[in-house]
Structure 1
Amino acid sequence: MNRDILFITGVSSGIGLACARFFLDQGYKVYGIGRSNSITHENYQFLLLDLSDNEAISRFRFSDEDGEKYVLINNAGVIGEICPFWEADLSNMQQVIQVNFVALTELTQRFIQSVPSGIILNISSGAGQRPVKGWSAYCASKAAVNLFSETLADEFEHYNQPFTIKSVAPGVVDTNMQTTIRKATKNEFPDRADFHHLYESQQLDAPEVTAQKLYYLLTHLDTYPATLLSLRSIELY
Protein backbone atom coordinates (compact mmCIF):
# COMPACT_ATOMS: atom_id res chain seq x y z
CA MET A 1 0.00 0.00 0.00
CA ASN A 2 1.32 3.42 -0.92
CA ARG A 3 1.96 5.91 1.85
CA ASP A 4 3.67 9.21 2.51
CA ILE A 5 7.42 8.80 2.93
CA LEU A 6 9.66 11.14 4.91
CA PHE A 7 13.45 11.27 4.89
CA ILE A 8 15.00 13.41 7.62
CA THR A 9 18.59 14.09 8.57
CA GLY A 10 19.89 14.67 12.07
CA VAL A 11 17.55 12.30 13.93
CA SER A 12 19.87 11.75 16.88
CA SER A 13 18.32 14.56 18.94
CA GLY A 14 16.52 17.90 18.87
CA ILE A 15 14.34 18.89 15.93
CA GLY A 16 15.22 15.80 13.90
CA LEU A 17 14.25 13.37 16.64
CA ALA A 18 11.04 15.27 17.40
CA CYS A 19 10.08 15.34 13.70
CA ALA A 20 10.72 11.64 13.23
CA ARG A 21 8.44 10.81 16.16
CA PHE A 22 5.72 13.28 15.19
CA PHE A 23 5.56 12.23 11.54
CA LEU A 24 5.40 8.58 12.57
CA ASP A 25 2.35 9.51 14.63
CA GLN A 26 0.82 11.03 11.48
CA GLY A 27 1.18 7.75 9.61
CA TYR A 28 4.29 8.51 7.57
CA LYS A 29 6.93 5.93 6.74
CA VAL A 30 10.03 7.62 8.14
CA TYR A 31 13.65 7.09 7.18
CA GLY A 32 15.89 8.68 9.78
CA ILE A 33 19.38 9.66 8.62
CA GLY A 34 22.14 10.28 11.15
CA ARG A 35 24.98 8.96 13.28
CA SER A 36 22.90 7.42 16.08
CA ASN A 37 19.35 6.32 16.68
CA SER A 38 16.91 5.89 19.58
CA ILE A 39 13.66 5.16 17.73
CA THR A 40 12.03 1.77 17.33
CA HIS A 41 8.84 1.72 15.27
CA GLU A 42 7.36 -0.55 12.63
CA ASN A 43 7.24 2.33 10.12
CA TYR A 44 10.72 3.62 10.89
CA GLN A 45 14.07 2.73 9.37
CA PHE A 46 17.37 4.21 10.48
CA LEU A 47 20.02 4.96 7.85
CA LEU A 48 23.50 5.41 9.29
CA LEU A 49 25.29 8.36 7.67
CA ASP A 50 27.93 10.81 8.86
CA LEU A 51 27.34 14.03 6.91
CA SER A 52 30.92 15.13 7.49
CA ASP A 53 32.12 12.11 5.47
CA ASN A 54 31.97 12.89 1.75
CA GLU A 55 32.81 9.34 0.73
CA ALA A 56 29.95 7.97 2.82
CA ILE A 57 27.56 10.48 1.26
CA SER A 58 28.67 9.47 -2.23
CA ARG A 59 27.65 5.88 -1.41
CA PHE A 60 24.30 6.85 0.11
CA ARG A 61 21.11 5.95 -1.75
CA PHE A 62 17.51 6.83 -0.97
CA SER A 63 15.01 4.00 -0.63
CA ASP A 64 13.13 3.14 -3.83
CA GLU A 65 9.98 2.29 -1.88
CA ASP A 66 6.77 3.38 -3.63
CA GLY A 67 4.97 6.24 -1.93
CA GLU A 68 2.18 8.71 -2.54
CA LYS A 69 4.21 11.70 -1.36
CA TYR A 70 7.95 12.05 -0.79
CA VAL A 71 9.42 14.58 1.64
CA LEU A 72 13.05 15.37 2.48
CA ILE A 73 13.80 17.47 5.55
CA ASN A 74 17.44 18.54 5.55
CA ASN A 75 17.62 19.22 9.26
CA ALA A 76 21.12 18.21 10.38
CA GLY A 77 23.37 21.11 11.30
CA VAL A 78 26.27 22.11 13.52
CA ILE A 79 27.19 25.48 15.04
CA GLY A 80 30.94 24.80 15.04
CA GLU A 81 33.41 26.94 16.93
CA ILE A 82 32.02 30.11 18.45
CA CYS A 83 34.72 32.77 18.30
CA PRO A 84 35.98 35.70 16.22
CA PHE A 85 36.83 34.57 12.71
CA TRP A 86 40.57 35.27 13.07
CA GLU A 87 40.74 32.85 16.00
CA ALA A 88 38.82 30.08 14.25
CA ASP A 89 40.27 26.72 13.27
CA LEU A 90 39.76 26.62 9.50
CA SER A 91 39.33 22.86 9.51
CA ASN A 92 36.39 23.30 11.91
CA MET A 93 34.91 25.94 9.62
CA GLN A 94 35.22 23.57 6.69
CA GLN A 95 33.34 20.91 8.65
CA VAL A 96 30.52 23.37 9.38
CA ILE A 97 30.21 24.20 5.68
CA GLN A 98 30.39 20.50 4.81
CA VAL A 99 27.63 19.41 7.18
CA ASN A 100 25.35 22.44 6.89
CA PHE A 101 25.61 23.06 3.15
CA VAL A 102 27.66 20.68 1.02
CA ALA A 103 26.04 17.51 2.38
CA LEU A 104 22.62 19.16 2.10
CA THR A 105 23.13 19.89 -1.60
CA GLU A 106 24.37 16.37 -2.32
CA LEU A 107 21.41 14.76 -0.60
CA THR A 108 19.01 17.17 -2.28
CA GLN A 109 20.32 16.30 -5.73
CA ARG A 110 20.16 12.58 -5.04
CA PHE A 111 16.61 12.94 -3.70
CA ILE A 112 15.50 14.75 -6.85
CA GLN A 113 17.08 12.05 -8.99
CA SER A 114 15.53 9.23 -6.93
CA VAL A 115 11.83 10.11 -6.60
CA PRO A 116 9.22 11.17 -9.17
CA SER A 117 8.15 14.27 -7.26
CA GLY A 118 8.58 15.66 -3.79
CA ILE A 119 8.89 18.39 -1.20
CA ILE A 120 12.22 19.55 0.22
CA LEU A 121 12.40 21.48 3.49
CA ASN A 122 15.83 22.87 4.29
CA ILE A 123 16.19 23.90 7.92
CA SER A 124 17.94 27.25 7.85
CA SER A 125 18.26 29.95 10.50
CA GLY A 126 17.70 33.63 11.08
CA ALA A 127 21.51 33.69 11.19
CA GLY A 128 21.43 33.04 7.45
CA GLN A 129 19.95 36.50 6.93
CA ARG A 130 21.96 38.60 9.37
CA PRO A 131 25.47 38.56 10.84
CA VAL A 132 25.99 37.11 14.31
CA LYS A 133 29.36 37.85 15.90
CA GLY A 134 31.25 34.62 16.59
CA TRP A 135 29.23 32.53 14.13
CA SER A 136 30.98 33.31 10.84
CA ALA A 137 30.92 29.76 9.44
CA TYR A 138 27.39 29.04 10.66
CA CYS A 139 26.00 32.29 9.24
CA ALA A 140 27.73 31.71 5.91
CA SER A 141 26.50 28.13 5.65
CA LYS A 142 22.88 29.07 6.36
CA ALA A 143 23.02 32.03 3.95
CA ALA A 144 24.22 29.56 1.32
CA VAL A 145 21.29 27.25 2.11
CA ASN A 146 18.86 30.14 1.62
CA LEU A 147 20.18 31.24 -1.77
CA PHE A 148 20.59 27.65 -2.93
CA SER A 149 16.94 27.02 -2.06
CA GLU A 150 15.76 30.15 -3.88
CA THR A 151 17.80 29.25 -6.96
CA LEU A 152 16.46 25.71 -6.99
CA ALA A 153 12.88 26.99 -6.60
CA ASP A 154 13.40 29.16 -9.70
CA GLU A 155 14.82 26.20 -11.61
CA PHE A 156 11.90 23.96 -10.63
CA GLU A 157 9.48 26.58 -11.95
CA HIS A 158 11.42 27.30 -15.14
CA TYR A 159 11.91 23.64 -16.06
CA ASN A 160 8.44 22.61 -14.86
CA GLN A 161 9.78 20.11 -12.34
CA PRO A 162 7.32 18.45 -9.88
CA PHE A 163 9.23 19.54 -6.77
CA THR A 164 8.73 22.18 -4.10
CA ILE A 165 11.52 23.57 -1.94
CA LYS A 166 11.44 25.81 1.14
CA SER A 167 14.21 27.14 3.36
CA VAL A 168 12.76 27.35 6.84
CA ALA A 169 14.08 29.25 9.85
CA PRO A 170 12.69 27.47 12.92
CA GLY A 171 13.26 30.29 15.40
CA VAL A 172 15.00 29.73 18.73
CA VAL A 173 14.51 26.09 19.71
CA ASP A 174 15.56 24.33 22.90
CA THR A 175 18.20 21.96 21.49
CA ASN A 176 21.76 20.87 22.25
CA MET A 177 22.95 23.64 19.93
CA GLN A 178 21.37 26.24 22.21
CA THR A 179 23.18 24.68 25.17
CA THR A 180 26.49 25.01 23.30
CA ILE A 181 25.74 28.64 22.45
CA ARG A 182 25.02 29.54 26.08
CA LYS A 183 28.35 28.03 27.17
CA ALA A 184 30.34 30.46 25.00
CA THR A 185 32.17 33.26 26.76
CA LYS A 186 31.31 36.93 26.19
CA ASN A 187 34.55 37.35 24.24
CA GLU A 188 33.67 34.40 22.00
CA PHE A 189 30.03 35.43 21.61
CA PRO A 190 29.28 39.07 22.49
CA ASP A 191 25.49 38.51 22.24
CA ARG A 192 25.43 35.63 24.73
CA ALA A 193 23.31 37.58 27.25
CA ASP A 194 20.42 37.72 24.77
CA PHE A 195 20.37 33.94 24.48
CA HIS A 196 20.59 33.45 28.22
CA HIS A 197 17.61 35.78 28.57
CA LEU A 198 15.59 33.78 26.03
CA TYR A 199 16.33 30.59 27.95
CA GLU A 200 15.69 32.00 31.42
CA SER A 201 12.44 33.65 30.33
CA GLN A 202 11.29 30.37 28.72
CA GLN A 203 11.04 31.82 25.23
CA LEU A 204 12.59 28.81 23.49
CA ASP A 205 10.29 26.58 21.45
CA ALA A 206 10.32 22.89 22.28
CA PRO A 207 11.50 20.69 19.38
CA GLU A 208 8.07 19.04 19.43
CA VAL A 209 6.43 22.40 18.63
CA THR A 210 8.82 22.88 15.72
CA ALA A 211 7.87 19.42 14.42
CA GLN A 212 4.18 20.33 14.55
CA LYS A 213 4.82 23.59 12.71
CA LEU A 214 6.78 21.82 9.96
CA TYR A 215 3.91 19.36 9.55
CA TYR A 216 1.46 22.27 9.35
CA LEU A 217 3.63 23.89 6.69
CA LEU A 218 3.74 20.69 4.67
CA THR A 219 -0.03 20.35 4.77
CA HIS A 220 -0.68 24.05 3.95
CA LEU A 221 2.00 24.78 1.35
CA ASP A 222 -0.34 26.87 -0.80
CA THR A 223 -0.67 29.31 2.09
CA TYR A 224 3.10 29.95 2.09
CA PRO A 225 4.27 30.69 -1.48
CA ALA A 226 7.63 32.23 -0.52
CA THR A 227 10.74 30.06 -0.58
CA LEU A 228 12.29 31.62 2.54
CA LEU A 229 10.06 31.17 5.57
CA SER A 230 10.13 31.56 9.33
CA LEU A 231 8.17 29.19 11.53
CA ARG A 232 7.51 32.13 13.84
CA SER A 233 4.80 33.14 11.36
CA ILE A 234 2.90 29.89 12.01
CA GLU A 235 0.50 29.92 14.93
CA LEU A 236 -0.75 26.46 15.85
CA TYR A 237 -3.43 27.52 18.30
Structure 2
Amino acid sequence: MKYAVVTGTSKGLGASIAKLLMEASVNVIGLARGKNQELENANLPGSYKHYQVDLVDMEQTEKTFENIISFLKEQPLESLQLVQNAALVTPIEQVGKQDIAKLTAHVHVNLLAPMVVSNLWLDAWRDSNLSLVIANITSGAANRSVYGWNAYGSTKAGLDRYTDTVAVEQEKLETGNKIILFDPSIMDTDMQGEIRSADPSQFVDVDQFKNYKTEDKLRDTDVVAKVLVERLLDESSIQNGEYYSVKDVF
Protein backbone atom coordinates (compact mmCIF):
# COMPACT_ATOMS: atom_id res chain seq x y z
CA MET A 1 0.00 0.00 0.00
CA LYS A 2 1.09 3.55 -0.70
CA TYR A 3 1.02 6.00 2.20
CA ALA A 4 1.79 9.69 2.55
CA VAL A 5 1.86 11.76 5.73
CA VAL A 6 1.01 15.43 5.18
CA THR A 7 1.10 18.19 7.81
CA GLY A 8 -1.26 21.15 7.71
CA THR A 9 -4.19 19.41 5.99
CA SER A 10 -7.04 21.37 7.55
CA LYS A 11 -7.04 23.82 4.61
CA GLY A 12 -4.95 25.44 1.91
CA LEU A 13 -2.08 23.70 0.17
CA GLY A 14 -1.97 20.80 2.63
CA ALA A 15 -5.63 19.95 1.98
CA SER A 16 -5.08 20.13 -1.78
CA ILE A 17 -2.01 17.89 -1.62
CA ALA A 18 -3.91 15.33 0.46
CA LYS A 19 -6.90 15.32 -1.88
CA LEU A 20 -4.81 14.88 -5.04
CA LEU A 21 -2.80 12.07 -3.47
CA MET A 22 -6.00 10.32 -2.44
CA GLU A 23 -7.33 10.67 -5.98
CA ALA A 24 -4.18 8.84 -7.08
CA SER A 25 -4.90 5.92 -4.70
CA VAL A 26 -2.43 7.03 -2.04
CA ASN A 27 -3.58 6.59 1.55
CA VAL A 28 -3.07 9.86 3.40
CA ILE A 29 -2.43 10.53 7.06
CA GLY A 30 -3.13 14.19 7.72
CA LEU A 31 -2.13 16.35 10.65
CA ALA A 32 -3.48 19.73 11.70
CA ARG A 33 -4.88 21.61 14.68
CA GLY A 34 -8.34 21.45 13.08
CA LYS A 35 -10.16 18.69 11.26
CA ASN A 36 -10.99 18.52 7.57
CA GLN A 37 -14.39 16.90 7.24
CA GLU A 38 -14.28 17.09 3.44
CA LEU A 39 -11.20 14.86 3.35
CA GLU A 40 -12.51 12.55 6.07
CA ASN A 41 -15.80 12.05 4.23
CA ALA A 42 -14.31 11.90 0.73
CA ASN A 43 -15.12 8.87 -1.39
CA LEU A 44 -11.78 8.54 -3.16
CA PRO A 45 -9.49 5.62 -4.07
CA GLY A 46 -7.09 6.57 -1.26
CA SER A 47 -8.14 6.68 2.39
CA TYR A 48 -7.72 9.54 4.86
CA LYS A 49 -6.78 9.24 8.53
CA HIS A 50 -6.54 12.39 10.64
CA TYR A 51 -4.47 13.27 13.71
CA GLN A 52 -5.18 16.49 15.55
CA VAL A 53 -1.94 18.05 16.77
CA ASP A 54 -0.47 21.43 17.52
CA LEU A 55 3.04 21.47 16.08
CA VAL A 56 3.93 24.28 18.48
CA ASP A 57 4.00 21.63 21.22
CA MET A 58 7.06 19.44 20.72
CA GLU A 59 6.01 16.78 23.24
CA GLN A 60 2.62 16.45 21.53
CA THR A 61 4.29 16.40 18.13
CA GLU A 62 6.68 13.65 19.15
CA LYS A 63 3.94 11.47 20.66
CA THR A 64 1.70 11.94 17.64
CA PHE A 65 4.39 10.85 15.21
CA GLU A 66 5.31 7.91 17.40
CA ASN A 67 1.65 6.81 17.15
CA ILE A 68 1.67 7.32 13.38
CA ILE A 69 4.85 5.29 13.02
CA SER A 70 3.37 2.49 15.14
CA PHE A 71 0.28 2.45 12.91
CA LEU A 72 2.31 2.45 9.69
CA LYS A 73 4.56 -0.38 10.84
CA GLU A 74 1.46 -2.58 10.92
CA GLN A 75 0.65 -1.79 7.27
CA PRO A 76 1.99 -3.57 4.16
CA LEU A 77 3.90 -0.55 2.89
CA GLU A 78 4.84 -0.24 -0.75
CA SER A 79 5.96 3.38 -0.54
CA LEU A 80 6.04 6.05 2.15
CA GLN A 81 6.23 9.81 1.73
CA LEU A 82 6.27 12.71 4.18
CA VAL A 83 5.21 16.22 3.15
CA GLN A 84 6.02 18.86 5.76
CA ASN A 85 3.74 21.69 4.72
CA ALA A 86 2.47 23.27 7.96
CA ALA A 87 3.81 26.78 8.58
CA LEU A 88 3.08 30.12 10.22
CA VAL A 89 3.72 33.56 8.73
CA THR A 90 3.01 35.55 11.91
CA PRO A 91 4.47 37.46 13.64
CA ILE A 92 4.79 39.95 10.80
CA GLU A 93 6.60 42.71 12.65
CA GLN A 94 9.91 44.50 12.92
CA VAL A 95 12.39 43.16 15.46
CA GLY A 96 11.97 44.97 18.75
CA LYS A 97 8.17 44.84 18.64
CA GLN A 98 7.50 41.11 18.53
CA ASP A 99 5.52 39.02 20.97
CA ILE A 100 7.90 36.36 22.34
CA ALA A 101 5.21 33.66 22.58
CA LYS A 102 4.24 34.17 18.92
CA LEU A 103 7.89 34.18 17.90
CA THR A 104 8.51 30.92 19.77
CA ALA A 105 5.45 29.30 18.17
CA HIS A 106 6.64 30.45 14.75
CA VAL A 107 10.08 28.85 15.12
CA HIS A 108 8.58 25.65 16.52
CA VAL A 109 6.14 25.13 13.64
CA ASN A 110 8.33 26.33 10.76
CA LEU A 111 11.69 24.88 11.74
CA LEU A 112 11.88 22.86 14.95
CA ALA A 113 8.91 20.59 14.18
CA PRO A 114 10.27 19.56 10.73
CA MET A 115 13.64 18.83 12.36
CA VAL A 116 12.11 16.78 15.17
CA VAL A 117 9.82 14.90 12.80
CA SER A 118 12.60 14.18 10.30
CA ASN A 119 14.76 12.83 13.12
CA LEU A 120 12.00 10.49 14.31
CA TRP A 121 11.11 9.49 10.76
CA LEU A 122 14.57 8.56 9.54
CA ASP A 123 15.32 6.68 12.74
CA ALA A 124 12.05 4.73 12.62
CA TRP A 125 12.63 3.37 9.13
CA ARG A 126 16.39 2.94 9.36
CA ASP A 127 16.29 -0.85 9.18
CA SER A 128 13.46 -1.13 6.66
CA ASN A 129 13.67 -1.78 2.94
CA LEU A 130 11.71 1.38 2.18
CA SER A 131 13.24 4.26 0.28
CA LEU A 132 11.63 7.28 1.88
CA VAL A 133 10.68 10.54 0.21
CA ILE A 134 10.46 13.72 2.30
CA ALA A 135 9.24 16.98 0.76
CA ASN A 136 9.65 20.17 2.77
CA ILE A 137 7.64 23.21 1.68
CA THR A 138 9.83 26.30 1.42
CA SER A 139 9.38 29.88 0.22
CA GLY A 140 11.15 32.45 -1.89
CA ALA A 141 11.40 34.44 1.35
CA ALA A 142 14.24 32.12 2.34
CA ASN A 143 16.45 33.82 -0.25
CA ARG A 144 15.68 37.49 0.28
CA SER A 145 15.30 39.86 3.21
CA VAL A 146 11.86 41.43 3.54
CA TYR A 147 10.99 44.12 6.07
CA GLY A 148 8.73 42.55 8.72
CA TRP A 149 9.40 38.98 7.61
CA ASN A 150 12.52 38.47 9.72
CA ALA A 151 11.04 35.37 11.40
CA TYR A 152 9.47 33.85 8.29
CA GLY A 153 12.49 34.37 6.05
CA SER A 154 14.87 33.08 8.71
CA THR A 155 12.93 29.90 9.48
CA LYS A 156 12.47 29.10 5.80
CA ALA A 157 16.18 29.71 5.17
CA GLY A 158 16.94 27.42 8.09
CA LEU A 159 14.62 24.76 6.67
CA ASP A 160 16.38 25.02 3.30
CA ARG A 161 19.82 24.50 4.85
CA TYR A 162 18.54 21.69 7.04
CA THR A 163 16.98 19.92 4.04
CA ASP A 164 20.16 20.29 2.00
CA THR A 165 22.23 18.86 4.86
CA VAL A 166 19.94 15.89 5.44
CA ALA A 167 20.11 15.16 1.71
CA VAL A 168 23.91 15.16 1.87
CA GLU A 169 23.84 12.76 4.83
CA GLN A 170 21.39 10.37 3.17
CA GLU A 171 23.47 10.36 0.00
CA LYS A 172 26.64 9.59 1.94
CA LEU A 173 24.90 6.84 3.91
CA GLU A 174 23.53 5.35 0.64
CA THR A 175 20.08 4.91 2.17
CA GLY A 176 18.17 5.54 -1.04
CA ASN A 177 16.07 8.11 0.81
CA LYS A 178 15.29 11.37 -0.96
CA ILE A 179 14.60 14.72 0.67
CA ILE A 180 13.61 17.72 -1.41
CA LEU A 181 12.35 21.30 -1.20
CA PHE A 182 9.25 22.57 -2.98
CA ASP A 183 8.49 26.26 -3.44
CA PRO A 184 4.77 26.88 -4.08
CA SER A 185 5.23 30.63 -4.69
CA ILE A 186 2.15 32.83 -4.14
CA MET A 187 -1.20 31.09 -3.61
CA ASP A 188 -4.73 32.06 -2.64
CA THR A 189 -4.68 30.94 1.01
CA ASP A 190 -5.59 32.14 4.49
CA MET A 191 -1.91 32.91 4.98
CA GLN A 192 -2.12 35.44 2.15
CA GLY A 193 -5.08 36.97 3.95
CA GLU A 194 -2.97 37.35 7.09
CA ILE A 195 -0.25 39.04 5.04
CA ARG A 196 -2.72 41.48 3.46
CA SER A 197 -4.10 42.40 6.88
CA ALA A 198 -0.69 43.55 8.15
CA ASP A 199 -0.15 47.22 8.83
CA PRO A 200 2.38 48.96 6.54
CA SER A 201 4.44 49.76 9.65
CA GLN A 202 4.80 46.00 10.16
CA PHE A 203 5.17 44.95 6.54
CA VAL A 204 6.18 47.59 4.00
CA ASP A 205 5.28 45.40 1.00
CA VAL A 206 1.66 44.91 2.07
CA ASP A 207 0.25 46.85 -0.91
CA GLN A 208 2.09 44.56 -3.32
CA PHE A 209 0.39 41.53 -1.74
CA LYS A 210 -2.99 43.25 -1.86
CA ASN A 211 -2.40 43.79 -5.57
CA TYR A 212 -1.68 40.07 -6.05
CA LYS A 213 -5.25 39.43 -4.89
CA THR A 214 -6.99 42.24 -6.78
CA GLU A 215 -5.06 41.45 -9.97
CA ASP A 216 -5.86 37.73 -9.68
CA LYS A 217 -2.21 36.69 -9.52
CA LEU A 218 -2.64 34.15 -6.72
CA ARG A 219 -2.68 30.55 -7.93
CA ASP A 220 -5.32 28.15 -6.66
CA THR A 221 -3.88 25.64 -4.20
CA ASP A 222 -5.09 22.70 -6.32
CA VAL A 223 -3.05 24.02 -9.25
CA VAL A 224 0.07 24.32 -7.08
CA ALA A 225 -0.46 20.98 -5.35
CA LYS A 226 -0.75 19.24 -8.73
CA VAL A 227 2.84 20.23 -9.57
CA LEU A 228 4.18 18.66 -6.38
CA VAL A 229 1.92 15.61 -6.42
CA GLU A 230 2.82 14.73 -10.01
CA ARG A 231 6.45 14.75 -8.91
CA LEU A 232 5.72 12.62 -5.84
CA LEU A 233 3.83 10.08 -7.92
CA ASP A 234 6.89 9.61 -10.12
CA GLU A 235 9.45 8.80 -7.44
CA SER A 236 12.08 7.70 -9.95
CA SER A 237 12.21 11.26 -11.31
CA ILE A 238 12.92 12.78 -7.90
CA GLN A 239 16.51 13.82 -7.32
CA ASN A 240 17.70 13.79 -3.72
CA GLY A 241 18.48 17.31 -2.47
CA GLU A 242 16.73 19.07 -5.37
CA TYR A 243 14.82 22.35 -5.17
CA TYR A 244 11.57 22.17 -7.12
CA SER A 245 9.29 25.13 -7.74
CA VAL A 246 5.84 25.70 -9.17
CA LYS A 247 7.60 28.26 -11.36
CA ASP A 248 9.33 25.37 -13.14
CA VAL A 249 5.93 24.68 -14.71
CA PHE A 250 4.21 28.06 -14.80
TM-score interval (norm. to shorter): over 0.9
Q: CA RMSD in A?
A: 1.6
The reply on whether 1:46 has 2:56 as its aligned counterpart is: no
Residue equivalent to 1:5: 3
**Structure 1 segments (4+ residues) deviating >6 Å:** none
Offset at residue 221 of structure 1 (A): 5.5
Using the TM superposition, give the Cα deviation of residue 56 of structure 1 relative to its aligned residue in structure 2, in angstroms: 0.6
Aligned to 2:208: 194
Query: Is the contact made by 1:150 and 1:228 (CA closer than 8 Å) also made in structure 2?
Result: no
**Partner of residue 21, structure 1:** 19
- Percent of aligned pairs with the same amino acid: 26
- Out of 40, 63, 78, the position equivalent to 2:88 is 78
What's the CA shift for 1:58?
2.3
After TM superposition, the score normalised by the length of structure 2 is 0.88
| Partner residue in 2 for 1:130 | 144
Tell me the TM-score normalised to structure 1 length: 0.93
Whether 1:227 aligns to 2:246 is: no
Give ranges in structure 2 of 5+ residues lacking alignment.
none
Structure 1, residues 7-62: CA drift from partner, whole Å, max 9, x if none?
Answer: 00001110011111111111001000111212224711001211011111221222
- What amino acid does structure 1 have at the position aligned with 2:165? T
Query: 1:211: which partner in 2?
Result: 225
**2:33–2:52 Cα contact (<8 Å) kept:** yes
Q: In structure 2, the residue corresponding to 1:33 is in which secondary structure?
A: strand
> Could you give the per-residue CA deviations for residues 184-207 of structure 1, whole angstroms, max 9, x where no partner exists?
111111011111111111111111
2:246 maps to amino acid: L
2:82–2:134 Cα contact (<8 Å) kept? yes
Task: For 2:249, give the aligned amino acid.
Answer: I
**Contact kept in structure 2, 1:146 and 1:167, CA below 8 Å:** yes
Quick one: which of 103, 112, 121 aligns to 1:111? 121
Distance in 2 (CA, whole Å) between partners of 1:234 and 1:150 is 22
- How many residues align? The count is 233
Shift of 1:229: 2.6
Pick from 122, 146, 153 the counterpart of residue 167 of structure 2: 153
Distance 1:84 1:163 in 2: 39
Offset, 1:113 = 2.3
The answer to whether the Cα contact below 8 Å between 2:232 and 2:238 also exists between their aligned partners in 1 is no
Note if 1:185 corresponds to 2:189.
Answer: no
Q: Which runs of 5+ in 1 are unaligned?
A: none
Q: Which moved more, 1:211-220 or 1:156-165?
A: 211-220
